Amino acid sequence: MQILLTGIAGFIGSHLATRLQARGDSIIGIDNFDETLYPAALHQRNLGTLDGLSRIEFSRLDFLDAEATEKILSSHRFDVVVHLGALAGVRPSIAQPLRYARVNVEGTVLLLEACRRHNVKRFVFASSSSVYGSHCQVPFCESDPALRPASPYAASKRAGELFCSNFSDLYGIATTALRFFTVYGPRQRPEMAIHKFADLICAQKPLPVFGDGQSARDYTYITDIVDGLIAAIDHTVGDKPRVYNLGGSRTTTLSHLVELLEESLHQRAILDRQPDQPGDVPITYADVSLSGRELGYAPKVPIETGIKLFCEWFLDQRKK
């Protein structure tokens, strides 16, 4: 298969590229090393994990650059576009909604448009559990209308999903939006809770615990997310728009997460209790019965194992 992968130098993108390459797909990866969340050197490191792998062609470009994106689409015949490139992160989006809308909404429409012009029949879109907000029933189910996302980031992902649906209905592109539930594992973005907490515990600095520590998240280990992505890439779905949850389908409280990290890092955390943050939701919890039925998705890595694996990688990095 020939695949255009946006966000290849990101956390999830670099893991997906490794797996696609290993099974013989040909990948054109694009990324602009966006520094909103972490420095270019870490994007470079993520990409460096692909060094020595054949069948990956990388271009450093911004997909908002319509001309450059058009050139890539017109010079290849892609079977599928996998759109992981985005500005991620709930909290930073609150300070810059317009920028998030540009990159995440306009960028997605620009790529969908390019697919339409160049007859690309499949589009897989990275959406987020944040689209459910705090007003949906748990476990979160794809049939929920998800009309009150709690942050500009969440709204931008919901808008991206709606454009995917639109392009399926109007132009026959088979689109699949995957709602990822907090993904973690080696190379996780440094500003995300697990990675940030590990940094603070090891530096013996105060770890901010928002609320009473009982807020709960459905954490998904990176290999489970990659399994779900591959299943969505391979799934023949016709041109009906699809939306699937990809989660661990189990919740972990913030307090328990800190305990698991303390255990694997062999250090105690210094807790700094703080009020709830705007944009945060009290719980995320995925109902994965639809993705199980239609994609064969079944999360395999429990949080106890996943945190151990993450911490092994984390401690190893610190030695370098």
Whether omega for the bond prior to residue 139 falls within 30 degrees of 0, making it cis, is: yes
User: Which region among 2-10, 21-29, 137-145, 264-272 touches ligand NAD (by CB under 6 A)?
Assistant: 2-10
Which residue's CB comes closest to ligand NAD? 10
Among 17, 21, 34, 216, which residue interacts with ligand NAD (rule: CB under 6 A)? 34
* Single-letter residue type at 264: S
Residue among 64, 79, 68 at smallest CA distance from 118: 79
Among 4, 13, 139, 230, which residue interacts with ligand NAD (rule: CB under 6 A)? 13
Q: Is 205 left (phi over 0), alpha (psi -120 to 50) or beta?
A: beta
What are 89's two structure tokens? 């992160």
Burial of 291 (0-12, 13-18, 19+ CB in 10 A): buried
153 an active-site residue? yes
Q: Let me know the angle formed at the C-alpha of 228 by 225 and 233, rounded to the nearest 5 degrees.
A: 125
Q: Which CB sits closer to ligand NAD, 86 or 164? A: 86
User: Which region among 6-14, 70-78, 143-151, 309-317 touches ligand NAD (by CB under 6 A)?
Assistant: 6-14
Say whether residue 16 binds ligand NAD (CB under 6 A). Answer: no
3-state class (DSSP) for residue 154: helix
CA–CA separation, 122 and 109 (whole Å): 14
All residues at 6 or more sequence positions from 66 whose CB lies less than 8 Å from its CB, including other chains: 110
Among 21, 32, 93, 249, which residue interacts with ligand NAD (rule: CB under 6 A)? 32
For the chain, the straight-line distance linking the first and the last C-alpha, in angstroms and rounded, comes to: 36
CA–CA separation, 6 and 12 (whole Å): 11
Among 19, 33, 141, 165, which residue interacts with ligand NAD (rule: CB under 6 A)? 33
Say whether residue 88 binds ligand NAD (CB under 6 A). Answer: yes
CB of 201 to ligand NAD, least distance (A): 20
CA–CA separation, 112 and 165 (whole Å): 11
Residues 251-280 that bind ligand NAD (CB under 6 A): none
CA–CA separation, 62 and 162 (whole Å): 22
CB of 266 to ligand NAD, least distance (A): 26
All residues at 6 or more sequence positions from 46 whose CB lies less than 8 Å from its CB, including other chains: 9, 10, 11, 13, 14, 187
Residue among 198, 178, 213 at smallest CA distance from 286: 178
Say whether residue 228 binds ligand NAD (CB under 6 A). Answer: no
* Single-letter residue type at 82: V
User: Which region among 182-190, 195-203, 208-216, 236-244 touches ligand NAD (by CB under 6 A)?
Assistant: 182-190
Distance of alpha carbon 211 from its chain centroid, rounded? 25
User: Which region among 176-184, 234-242, 298-306, 310-318 touches ligand NAD (by CB under 6 A)?
Assistant: 176-184
Among 3, 29, 31, 131, which residue interacts with ligand NAD (rule: CB under 6 A)? 31
Say whether residue 155 binds ligand NAD (CB under 6 A). Answer: no
Say whether residue 186 binds ligand NAD (CB under 6 A). Answer: no
Number of residues that bind ligand NAD (CB under 6 A): 30
CB of 259 to ligand NAD, least distance (A): 21
Say whether residue 180 binds ligand NAD (CB under 6 A). Answer: yes
Residue in 100, 153, 184, 244 annotated catalytic: 153
Q: Which CB sits closer to ligand NAD, 268 or 300? A: 300
Catalytic residues: 153
The residue ranges that bind ligand NAD (CB under 6 A) are: 6-7, 9-13, 30-34, 37, 43, 62-64, 84-88, 103, 107, 126, 128, 180, 182-183, 189
